[in-house]
Amino acid sequence: MAFLSSHRKDKNSVIEVGEPTITIQLPIYNEKYVATRLVDAVCQQDYPKDKMRIMVLDDSDDDTVTTMSNTVKKYQNLGFDIEHIRRGTRNGYKAGALKHAMKSTDSEFVAIFDADFIPPNWYLKKAMPHFAKSNIGLVQCRWGHINENYSALTQAQALNLDFHFLVEQKAKSNSKLFMNFNGTAGIWRKECIDDAGGWHTATLVEDLDLSYRAQMKGWKCLFLPDIVVDAELPVQMNGAKRQQFRWAKGSIQCAVKLLGDILVKRKIAFDTKLQAFIQLTRHIVFPLMLIQFITLPILLASDVNLYIVSFLPALTLATYLAMGPGAYLLVIHKMYKTDWKAKAKALPYLLVYSIGMSVNNTVAVFDGVFGKKNEFLRTPKYGIVKNDDDWRDKAYNLPFSKTTLLEMFFAVYGILGIFIAIFSNNPIFVPIIALQAIGFFYIAWLSFSHTRYKRPQSTKHKITKEEKMANNFYKLALGGIFAIIIIGGFMAFTGYANDVYPLDISVGLLDRILATSNPQTIIADINAIKANLPETGNPVWIFPTDSTNFSRIQSDLDTMLISAEKIAAVPTDSAAYHTGMLDINGRAMSIQANLADAIPYMYVSFSNIIFSSIWIAAILGIFAVLNKKKQKMQEYDVSKDV
């Protein structure tokens, strides 16, 4: 993709095509902070009024309805052909609104903008000439970011979107690969929409669905990197997660819906089929990341040999860094030229953000695969432009979801994985595990800290006593959750240090016994091993065997100690010495095997299982109480609206 985006030039000519009729469709739902800004920007387009029709597709059920009604009337009085369309239903969500609008659309072209976009007044003048060729069905323009530097979260999203547009979309546009519509900041030829079958409501990404169906019909989609339309990035983590969830699940839904037809259609080139398969199924990488994250500490704890080739772990880490941060830096340098260093500062945020989203997106993938139907949940926007703008006391704030609990679990699991990698003498894997653990902590922490129980329904709303109490309760519960996590991490660390680490030390001492011929050293090491190991007990509490019985292991150590004391009193070249050493070495290897069997069971001892159950139950309990409190606040909001 990077090669195609930088080495292929767009062959589509740009000539004057006049000023054809165009309908600008603005699908909105509860966007009172940004909807007026959008309509103002659209009505300022440098385009003949008699050739431009504006349709405000308003499915809102809050103050946005009144705001839009007044705004539309204002521009109608100024001579604009603008309508405020109310379906009275949200069936089909955004796709349903667009489908409804197409029934009364008779213009040659259709432009679409989401509520948080701000098209410049020259947008139509610059974009329309690119429809010079009759086979061009869509022109997609690049997204700008009006609040890119608001926070680390917005910087990460901005960089991620720039990669998508300036590398991926540009490469597809410059080749015969399939390019997707991004749902907004684009213009369609109406004939193309009709020919492709119109808007469908079966998936959460109607834009991707329609653009693929259009290209399967032979239409060309064109990306215009030089026409930038500014938009507002999500500033709340829960909103960003909702957006990522919708994109991930929608892609899988489109894969299920379209891939079969794409693969069997003869007119589609093989490389295009391959690219379509990769794009539609690429979110499967997130479940694979989680599987790798879960299995690596287990393999390390089980003492599985991951060093089939001695330099393989180092090579893996080097490849991980080269294909990840290293490749990103090269692309950033090519994308931004002289400004690349400033943009590169956001790369660590992007890596942590992308990795941390793997839990959220994995849930989305499974939802898409198994066909679970979800409501189209919009990403709330707050009109955030300046760095000192605040969104926390505004409407539309989203609470954390159940996925946050999973993210917390994986974050703690990652900390345990780091300890396991260190104490199992595999520190080379620590950076990989740590980066993922940091990502999960980052996403979980912001999901909690960005949650608000202040749910104002109008601009005149004052925070009530109930809302203040709910907010204080939430803060206490949040502190309780993280206190439990810290206690759990501390207990896991001390448990490892007291139960598992002594066995690891003993295995190392047995290695030293096998490598030495000094009886005094052997005696000292055996005494150290005896002190490290439990005197009695068996870590295998279900179907135990004698090989992991610590009483037997201690008995074998006593026998080894007697043999070592005997050979210490005889010449090293005597037969008795050699016989004694053979006995010691044989028992040392046997005990090593016994400890290797015992170590994995030390992690799942009966006490550890009980403690883990209590620990998880405590977090679930607090989460359940928070969820119940959230429902009560929602019920309170509804009662106030009645």
Lowest-confidence range among 78-82, 456-460, 534-538? Answer: 456-460
Taking the CA atoms of 243, 249, 252 and 258 in sequence, report the sign of the dihedral they define: negative
Q: Where are the alpha helices (DSSP H) in 8-63?
A: 35-43
Share of the chain above pLDDT 70, in %: 86
Q: How far is CA 591 from CA 22, 545, 567, 582, in A?
A: 81, 14, 20, 14
pLDDT grade for 638, boundaries at 50, 70 and 90: very low
3-state secondary structure of 176: coil
Q: How far is CA 566 from CA 510, 531, 572, 576, 580, in A?
A: 19, 21, 11, 9, 8
State residue 641's pLDDT score: 45
Q: In terms of pLDDT, which residue wins out, 27 or 545?
A: 27
State residue 617's pLDDT score: 78
Spot the catalytic one: 59, 230, 504, 525.
Answer: 59
Note whether 128 and 261 are same-domain residues.
no
- Calpha distance 638→62 (Å, rounded): 12
pLDDT exceeds cutoff 70 at 466: no
Q: Where are the alpha helices (DSSP H) in 394-546?
A: 403-423, 430-449, 465-495, 501-515, 519-532
Of the three residues 336, 365, 385, the one that is the final residue of a domain is 385
Closest-CA residue to 426 (of 576, 272, 314): 314
| Number of domains the chain is built from | 3
Note whether 215 and 242 are same-domain residues.
no
Looking only at the bridges linking them, the beta strands covering 136-145 and 220-231 are parallel
Of the three residues 232, 266, 291, the one that is the final residue of a domain is 232
Note whether 514 and 590 are same-domain residues.
yes
- Does 47 reside within a domain? yes
Note whether 221 and 114 are same-domain residues.
yes
State residue 314's pLDDT score: 63
Note whether 103 and 200 are same-domain residues.
yes
- Residues in contact with 293: Cβ distance below 8 Å, sequence separation at least 6, in sequence order: 358, 410, 413, 414, 417, 433, 436
pLDDT exceeds cutoff 70 at 467: no
How large is the average pLDDT for residues 401-427? 85
pLDDT grade for 99, boundaries at 50, 70 and 90: very high
Q: What predicted TM-score, i.e. pTM, was given to this entire model?
A: 0.78
State residue 423's pLDDT score: 76
**What's the half-sphere exposure (Cβ side, CA atoms, 13 Å) at 169?**
25
pLDDT grade for 362, boundaries at 50, 70 and 90: very high
The type of residue at 548 is T
Note whether 187 and 255 are same-domain residues.
no
Lowest-confidence range among 120-134, 392-406, 517-531? Answer: 392-406
State residue 212's pLDDT score: 97
How large is the average pLDDT for residues 8-24? 66
How large is the average pLDDT for residues 85-105? 94
pLDDT exceeds cutoff 70 at 476: yes
pLDDT exceeds cutoff 90 at 400: no
State residue 282's pLDDT score: 93
- Does 457 reside within a domain? no
**What CATH number is associated with residue 547?**
1.20.120
Note whether 506 and 536 are same-domain residues.
yes
Q: Is residue 213 within 8 Å of residue 199, measured between CB atoms?
A: no
- Does 453 reside within a domain? no
The 10s digit of each residue's pLDDT in 26-42 is 999 999 999 999 999 99
pLDDT exceeds cutoff 90 at 497: no
Lowest-confidence range among 104-108, 156-160, 425-429, 525-529? Answer: 425-429
pLDDT grade for 2, boundaries at 50, 70 and 90: low
Provide the CA 391 distance to its chain's centre, in angstroms.
23
State residue 318's pLDDT score: 67
How large is the average pLDDT for residues 127-155? 95
Note whether 76 and 203 are same-domain residues.
yes
DSSP for 53-93, please give it. Answer: EEEEEE---STHHHHHHHHHHHHHHTT-EEEEE--S--TTH
- Does 407 reside within a domain? no
- Does 570 reside within a domain? yes
pLDDT grade for 459, boundaries at 50, 70 and 90: very low
pLDDT grade for 425, boundaries at 50, 70 and 90: confident
pLDDT grade for 456, boundaries at 50, 70 and 90: very low
Note whether 265 and 197 are same-domain residues.
no
How large is the average pLDDT for residues 202-228? 95
Quote the Cα angle for 196-199-204, to 5°: 120
How large is the average pLDDT for residues 127-153? 95
Quote the Cα angle for 447-369-620, to 5°: 35
Q: In terms of pLDDT, which residue wins out, 113 or 474?
A: 113
Q: What are phi and psi of 166, to 5 degrees?
A: -80, -15
- Calpha distance 400→626 (Å, rounded): 10
State residue 329's pLDDT score: 80
Which two tokens mark 115? 């509520």
- Does 631 reside within a domain? no
Question: Is 59 designated active site?
Answer: yes
Spot the catalytic one: 116, 162, 207, 230.
Answer: 207
Note whether 329 and 213 are same-domain residues.
no
Closest-CA residue to 123 (of 47, 236, 211): 47
- Calpha distance 314→310 (Å, rounded): 9
- Calpha distance 568→255 (Å, rounded): 73
Note whether 37 and 180 are same-domain residues.
yes
Could you tell me if residue 463 is left (phi over 0), alpha (psi between -120 and 50 degrees) or otherwise beta? beta
pLDDT exceeds cutoff 60 at 292: yes
- Calpha distance 256→279 (Å, rounded): 13
How large is the average pLDDT for residues 481-497? 77
The 10s digit of each residue's pLDDT in 293-319 is 998 888 887 766 666 545 556 666 666
pLDDT exceeds cutoff 90 at 375: no
- Calpha distance 191→109 (Å, rounded): 8
pLDDT exceeds cutoff 80 at 634: no
Provide the CA 222 distance to its chain's centre, in angstroms.
28
Q: What is the chain's mean pLDDT, rounded?
A: 86
pLDDT grade for 332, boundaries at 50, 70 and 90: confident
Q: In terms of pLDDT, which residue wins out, 128 or 456?
A: 128
State residue 254's pLDDT score: 94
- Does 221 reside within a domain? yes
pLDDT exceeds cutoff 90 at 361: yes
How large is the average pLDDT for residues 137-152? 96
**What CATH number is associated with residue 31?**
3.90.550.10
The 10s digit of each residue's pLDDT in 564-613 is 999 988 998 898 899 999 999 999 999 999 998 888 788 777 777 777 77
The type of residue at 289 is M
The 10s digit of each residue's pLDDT in 155-211 is 999 999 999 999 999 999 999 899 999 999 999 999 999 999 999 998 999 999 999
Of the three residues 181, 214, 232, the one that is the final residue of a domain is 232
- Does 201 reside within a domain? yes
pLDDT exceeds cutoff 50 at 458: no
State residue 399's pLDDT score: 84
Q: How far is CA 435 from CA 293, 420, 426, 439, in A?
A: 10, 15, 16, 6
Q: What are phi and psi of 163, to 5 degrees?
A: -60, -45
- Calpha distance 249→412 (Å, rounded): 26
The type of residue at 502 is P
Note whether 84 and 195 are same-domain residues.
yes
Which two tokens mark 151? 């926070």
pLDDT exceeds cutoff 60 at 107: yes
Domain housing 105: 2-232
State residue 598's pLDDT score: 87
- Residues in contact with 521: Cβ distance below 8 Å, sequence separation at least 6, in sequence order: 512, 513
Q: In terms of pLDDT, which residue wins out, 219 or 466?
A: 219
